[in-house]
C-alpha cells in the first residue's frame, strides 16, 4: 500500500489554526506560496523515499551485533537524503543553521514523515527535542559546537530518562555523575528504552542524560541533565575517540521494528552539564514537551496511513450485495461508517496538533507580551490533549483499519496489522496517556484558577452560535453546544475536587476535552470552506455532522462519568478483582 501526503487537509488545518495570519505577522519573508511549496516537496520526499522502506523496516528491523546497531535496510541512506534536503532544520534558529520556519510547518512535515515511516521518523523527531533543550539551556560551548550539528542533522539526539527501576517515577533515577576534576563529569549507569540510542545513520549521537551527583538531594530535586556524545568532541568541534558508553542490546518489540530501542550502558562516559545542577528535570521537560507534541502528531500520522490503506482495500474488496452500490465493501453502510469516523477523527486530531504548534509559535513571536502569555497558556493546556487524545485516535483508527480488512487485516501480509502494532506504543511513551491526563487535571486545568479553560469554552461557544446560523451545520452547533456545556460542568467539578476523586476522573476528562475540542475544530473547518462548491469542501460539513452524531452526542454521559469519583475504584482490592 502506497502513501499519499494529505496536502489539502494539512493546508486546511493550518488555516483553521491561524497559520496564515502568523506568517503575515511574524515571518515577513515567508508567504503562503512558500508554505505550499515546502509541504509539497516534503510530501513528495515522504511518498517516494520513506514510504517504500516502511514494510522492510518492519520485517527486517534494526540489528544489534558486536556492540553496535545497524539501521534497518535503506534507513541510513534515507536519513542522509532527509537531512541533505533540509527537513531536519525547518524551525530551528538561523543562528545555529536552521531555516527559522514555523513550528506548525515542522509538525506538518513530520506528520508526513511519521505516516510514511514511523520507525524512521523517531530519529529526527528526538533530535528536534534535543535542539530545543540545548538552544534554551545549553552552554556556549554546546551551542557553538554541538547545536549546529544537531540542526543540520549531521549528528542525532536522544533522550535518556528511563531505568529498569525508574519508569515514569524519575525520582528513582540512580545513574550517577561524578566530577572528573577537569570541569566535566563521568556517567555511570544503565538507561533503557532509548529510541535510536545507537545506529549507523549519522557520525555522532548526542545523548541527553538524567543523572545525579553523589551528594545530590534525594528525589527529583537532585537530578541534573548531562550531555554525553557517542564520540568525543574537541574544542574545535572535531570528532575524537569513542566515549565510554555503548548499547547493551536492542529490545524485541511489538512494533516500530525499524527503530532501534536500546539499553544504553554508561561506563564512565565523559559528559558535560546542561543548565543548572539539580535542575535537570525542568531542563529535560523542554525536550519532553517537544516530544509529546511530536508523539501526538505520530498518532495522527499512523491513523492517516491506516485509513488510506483501509479506504483503498474497501474499494477493491468484494463481499456480498452492497446497499449503496459499487463493487467493493465501501458500499456497505457499516464499512462506510467506520471509514467516515476514521477520517473525521484524523481531521480533528490533526487540527488539535497543528493548532498547538501555532500556539507555540505565537508564544514566542506574538506582537505583545500579553498575547504571548495567552498563547503560552493555551499551548500548555493543549499539549497533554494533543499527545494523549491524538495517540488514542491513532490506536483506534488503526484498529478500525484492521476491522475494515476483516480477516485479511489479521494477516501480516496485508500490512494493516503493522499500523496497529506501530500505533500501540504512542499512548505509552513520552509520558503515558494516564500521566497526560493527570497533568491536564492536576496542573493545566488549574492555571489562572481555571481561566484558561474558561476562555477556550467561551471561544467554542462563539463557534456554536456561528454553526447554528449556518445552513446545514445547525445540528453540529446543537451537539457542540451540549458538548461544551458538558465540558464546563465537568471542569467545574474537577476544579472543586482534588486527590483520588479527581485523579480517578482524569482520563475520562481528557477524553471529553479532546472530543469536544475536536468537534469544535471540525465545525470551524466546515465554516471555513462553506462557500466551496466542490465535493471536498462539501464533505467537511458531512464529516462534522457524523462526528457530532457519533462523538459529541456522547459528551454529556462522559461528563457524568468524570464526576463519579474514586470510591468504587478504591473499594475494589486486588484480591477482590482477582477472585
CATH number reported for the structural domain that contains residue 181 in this entry: 2.40.110.20
Q: If you average pLDDT over residues 128-134, what whole number do you get?
A: 95
77 in the same domain as 32: yes
| Contact assessment for residue 353 and residue 94, using Cβ atoms and an 8 Å cutoff | no
161 in the same domain as 144: no
| pLDDT (tens digit per residue) in 399-437 | 999 999 999 999 999 999 999 999 999 999 999 999 999
Domain boundary residue, one of 85, 120, 150: 150
Domain boundary residue, one of 114, 135, 150: 150
Domain boundary residue, one of 109, 131, 150: 150
161 in the same domain as 146: no
Per-residue pLDDT, 327: 81
Catalytic residue ranges: 430
Top-confidence residue, 29 or 19: 19
pLDDT, averaged across the chain: 96
141 in the same domain as 267: no
Q: Is the pLDDT of residue 501 over 70?
A: yes
Q: How confident is the model at residue 443 (pLDDT cuts 50, 70, 90)?
A: very high
Q: Is the pLDDT of residue 320 over 90?
A: no
Tell whether 409 is covered by a domain.
no
Tell whether 202 is covered by a domain.
yes
Nearest by Cα to 521 from 437, 459, 433: 459
Query: Which strand (E) or helix (H) includes residue 157?
Result: strand 155-160
Tell whether 563 is covered by a domain.
yes
| Contact assessment for residue 44 and residue 113, using Cβ atoms and an 8 Å cutoff | no
Per-residue pLDDT, 24: 83
| pLDDT (tens digit per residue) in 321-342 | 888 878 899 999 999 999 999 9
Tell whether 411 is covered by a domain.
no
441 in the same domain as 551: yes
101 in the same domain as 168: no
Q: If you average pLDDT over residues 57-73, what whole number do you get?
A: 97
Tell whether 468 is covered by a domain.
yes
Pairing of strands 155-160, 204-211: parallel
| pLDDT (tens digit per residue) in 258-279 | 999 999 999 999 999 999 999 9
72 in the same domain as 196: no
Q: Which domain holds residue 485?
A: 432-579
Nearest by Cα to 478 from 443, 440, 519: 519
| Contact assessment for residue 173 and residue 163, using Cβ atoms and an 8 Å cutoff | yes
15 in the same domain as 127: yes
CATH number reported for the structural domain that contains residue 22 in this entry: 1.10.540.10
Coil, helix or strand for 51? helix
Tell whether 372 is covered by a domain.
no
168 in the same domain as 128: no
| pLDDT (tens digit per residue) in 186-200 | 999 999 999 999 999
Tell whether 343 is covered by a domain.
no
- 308-311-317-321 Cα dihedral, nearest 10 degrees: 180
Cell of 315: 474499494
| Contact assessment for residue 463 and residue 524, using Cβ atoms and an 8 Å cutoff | yes
146 in the same domain as 12: yes
Tell whether 550 is covered by a domain.
yes
The rounded distance, in Å, linking the Cα atoms of 220 and 464 is 44
227 in the same domain as 122: no
Q: Compute how many other C-beta atoms are within 10 angstroms of the C-beta atom of residue 298.
A: 32
- Residue 380 backbone dihedrals phi, psi, to 5 degrees: -65, -35
Top-confidence residue, 81 or 324: 81
Per-residue pLDDT, 1: 61
Q: Which string of b and e fits 367-386 if b means at least 16 CB within 10 Å?
A: eeeeeeebbbbbbbbbbbbb
Nearest by Cα to 227 from 187, 173, 274: 274
The rounded distance, in Å, linking the Cα atoms of 409 and 70 is 30
575 in the same domain as 438: yes
Full-model pTM:
0.97
Total domains, the chain: 3
Share of the chain above pLDDT 90, in %: 93
Q: Which residues, including other chains, have CB under 8 Å from residue 414's CB and lie 6 or more apart?
A: 309, 313, 405, 408
Amino acid at each position: 500500500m502506497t502513501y499519499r501526503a494529505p496536502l489539502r487537509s494539512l493546508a486546511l488545518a493550518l488555516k483553521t489554526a491561524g497559520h496564515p495570519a502568523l506568517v503575515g505577522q511574524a515571518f515577513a519573508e515567508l508567504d503562503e506560496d512558500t508554505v505550499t511549496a515546502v509541504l509539497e516537496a516534503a510530501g513528495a520526499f515522504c511518498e517516494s523515499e520513506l514510504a517504500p522502506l516502511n514494510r522492510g523496516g518492519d520485517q527486517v528491523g534494526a540489528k544489534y551485533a558486536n556492540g553496535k546497531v545497524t539501521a534497518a535496510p535503506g534507513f541510513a541512506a534515507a536519513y542522509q537524503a532527509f537531512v541533505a534536503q533540509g527537513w531536519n532544520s525547518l524551525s530551528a534558529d538561523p543562528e545555529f543553521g536552521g531555516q527559522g520556519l514555523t513550528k506548525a510547518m515542522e509538525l506538518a512535515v513530520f506528520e508526513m514523515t511519521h505516516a510514511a515511516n514511523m520507525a524512521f521518523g523517531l530519529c529526527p523527531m528526538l533530535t528536534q527535542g534535543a535542539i530545543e533543550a540545548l538552544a534554551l539551556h545549553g552552554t556556549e560551548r554546546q551551542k557553538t559546537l554541538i547545536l549546529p550539528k544537531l540542526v543540520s542533522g549531521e549528528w542525532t539526539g536522544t533522550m535518556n530518562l528511563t531505568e529498569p527501576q525508574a519508569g515514569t517515577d524519575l525520582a528513582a533515577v540512580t545513574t550517577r555523575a561524578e566530577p572528573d576534576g577537569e570541569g566535566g563529569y563521568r556517567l555511570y549507569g544503565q538507561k533503557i528504552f532509548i529510541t535510536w540510542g545507537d545506529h549507523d545513520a549519522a557520525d555522532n549521537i548526542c545523548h541527553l542524560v538524567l543523572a545525579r551527583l553523589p551528594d545530590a538531594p534525594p528525589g527529583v530535586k537532585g537530578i541534573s541533565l548531562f550531555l554525553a556524545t557517542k564520540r568525543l568532541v574537541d574544542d574545535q568541534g572535531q570528532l575524537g575517540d569513542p566515549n565510554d558508553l555503548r548499547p547493551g542490546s536492542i529490545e524485541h518489540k511489538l512494533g516500530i521494528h525499524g527503530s532501534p530501542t536500546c539499553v544504553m550502558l554508561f561506563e564512565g562516559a565523559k559528559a558535560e552539564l546542561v543548565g543548572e545542577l539539580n535542575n535537570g528535570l525542568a531542563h529535560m521537560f523542554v525536550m519532553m514537551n517537544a516530544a509529546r507534541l511530536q508523539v501526538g502528531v505520530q498518532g495522527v500520522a499512523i491513523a492517516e496511513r491506516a485509513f488510506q490503506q483501509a479506504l483503498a482495500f474497501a474499494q477493491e474488496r468484494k463481499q456480498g450485495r452492497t446497499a449503496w452500490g459499487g463493487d467493493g465493501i465501501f458500499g456497505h453502510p457499516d464499512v462506510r461508517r467506520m471509514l467516515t469516523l476514521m477520517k473525521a477523527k484524523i481531521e480533528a486530531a490533526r487540527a488539535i496538533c497543528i493548532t498547538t504548534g501555532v500556539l507555540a509559535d505565537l508564544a514566542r513571536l506574538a506582537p505583545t507580551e500579553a498575547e504571548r502569555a495567552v498563547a503560552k497558556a493555551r499551548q500548555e493546556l493543549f499539549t497533554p490533549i494533543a499527545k494523549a487524545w491524538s495517540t488514542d485516535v491513532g490506536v483506534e483508527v488503526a484498529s478500525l483499519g484492521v476491522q475494515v480488512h476483516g480477516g485479511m487485516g489479521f494477516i501480516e501480509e496485508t500490512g494493516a496489522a503493522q499500523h496497529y502494532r506501530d500505533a500501540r506504543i504512542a499512548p505509552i511513551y513520552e509520558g503515558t496517556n494516564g500521566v497526560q491526563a493527570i497533568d491536564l487535571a492536576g496542573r493545566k486545568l488549574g492555571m489562572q484558577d481555571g481561566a484558561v479553560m474558561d476562555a477556550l469554552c467561551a471561544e467554542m461557544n462563539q463557534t456554536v452560535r456561528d454553526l447554528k446560523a449556518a445552513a446545514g451545520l445547525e445540528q453540529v452547533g446543537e451537539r457542540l453546544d451540549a458538548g461544551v456545556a458538558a465540558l464546563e460542568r465537568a471542569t467545574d467539578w474537577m476544579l472543586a475536587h482534588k486527590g483520588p476523586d479527581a485523579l480517578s476522573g482524569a482520563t475520562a476528562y481528557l477524553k471529553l476535552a479532546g472530543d469536544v475540542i475536536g468537534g469544535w475544530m471540525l465545525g470551524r473547518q466546515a465554516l471555513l470552506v462553506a462557500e466551496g462548491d466542490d465535493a471536498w469542501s462539501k464533505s467537511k460539513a458531512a464529516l462534522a455532522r457524523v462526528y457530532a452524531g457519533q462523538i459529541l452526542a456522547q459528551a454529556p454521559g462522559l461528563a457524568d462519568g468524570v464526576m463519579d469519583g474514586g470510591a468504587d475504584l478504591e473499594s475494589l482490592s486486588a484480591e477482590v478483582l482477582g477472585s
